[in-house]
Amino acid sequence: MPRLADLLLLLVMLTSFVVLGTTRLSTCIRAVAFQGLLLGMLPLALYPNGELHTWGLAVGTMAVKAVILPRFLSWAIREAAVRREVEPRVGYALSLLLGVVAVAAAFAISTGLPLPERTREMLVPAALATVIIGLFVLITRSKALVQVVGYLMLENGVYLFGLTHVERVPFLVEAGVLLDVFVGVFIMGIVVFHINREFDSLDSARLTELTDR
């Protein structure tokens, strides 16, 4: 099912663009949840002779990245009564444009890389593009919750690259990575919740009390 994999990868990149272009926080979270769902389906599409290992990875990823974490983030928005806009430091149009540049750069870089055989052509550029866009969201969005979304996208990109080795790296290891990401985002979510209660805003740009002199 190579076509299906390419389609999924394309959709992964498109969801990144949704995060870049949307004005609404809830859309950001829904987009990253959808991205999680796509990531969960990818191992099955890439390695169709599905061993138990592949299935475990797919189910675990979907559960954590498409269900639990997005729900938790939505809960944080609701409970902390956050204003619903993204409030970027870089405008939406420019963000989208830079997103396109990132994808182009990712494709350009990966054609120059000496890739091992049996790697799908789209996988590595899609991974790099997601990493770059995730970093970009982290840097240019001042709202703490959107930064968490950016971090999740960054992790998704790394995960995509990891899929090139899914048959060689044992499941236990992937489970450990997934668990770490899960706990990390969970703690971030709790901190976000407290930031909002203390500062009446999720704007990490207001976190400026600690400086030298």
Residues of this chain that interact with other proteins (CB under 8 A) are: 113-116, 131, 135, 138, 144, 147, 151, 154-155, 157-158, 161-162, 164-165, 168-169, 173, 176-177, 179-180, 183-184, 187-188, 191, 194-195, 198-199, 204, 207-210, 212-213
Q: For residue 122, what is the DSSP state?
A: T
Q: Which is nearer to other proteins, 105 or 135 (CB)?
A: 135
Smallest separation (angstroms) from other proteins to the CB of 127: 8
Return d(Cα 182, Cα 166) in angstroms, integer. Answer: 20
Letter for the amino acid at 125? P
Q: Which is nearer to other proteins, 1 or 183 (CB)?
A: 183
- As given in the structure block, the two tokens for residue 103 are 């994808």
Return d(Cα 67, Cα 71) in angstroms, integer. Answer: 6
Smallest separation (angstroms) from other proteins to the CB of 61: 15
Smallest separation (angstroms) from other proteins to the CB of 166: 11
Residues with Cβ within 8 Å of 68's Cβ and at least 6 positions away in sequence, in order, are: 182
Q: Which is nearer to other proteins, 93 or 198 (CB)?
A: 198
Q: Which is nearer to other proteins, 108 or 173 (CB)?
A: 173
Judged by DSSP in three states, 91 sits in coil
Smallest separation (angstroms) from other proteins to the CB of 143: 12
Residues with Cβ within 8 Å of 125's Cβ and at least 6 positions away in sequence, in order, are: 103, 106, 107, 109, 110
Q: Which is nearer to other proteins, 100 or 183 (CB)?
A: 183
Return d(Cα 134, Cα 70) in angstroms, integer. Answer: 16
Return d(Cα 172, Cα 74) in angstroms, integer. Answer: 29
The alpha carbon of 19 is separated from its chain's Cα centroid by a whole number of angstroms, namely 10
The residue among 13, 205, 38, 180 whose CA lies nearest residue 105 is 13
Q: Which is nearer to other proteins, 7 or 60 (CB)?
A: 60
Smallest separation (angstroms) from other proteins to the CB of 159: 9
Return d(Cα 38, Cα 202) in angstroms, integer. Answer: 28
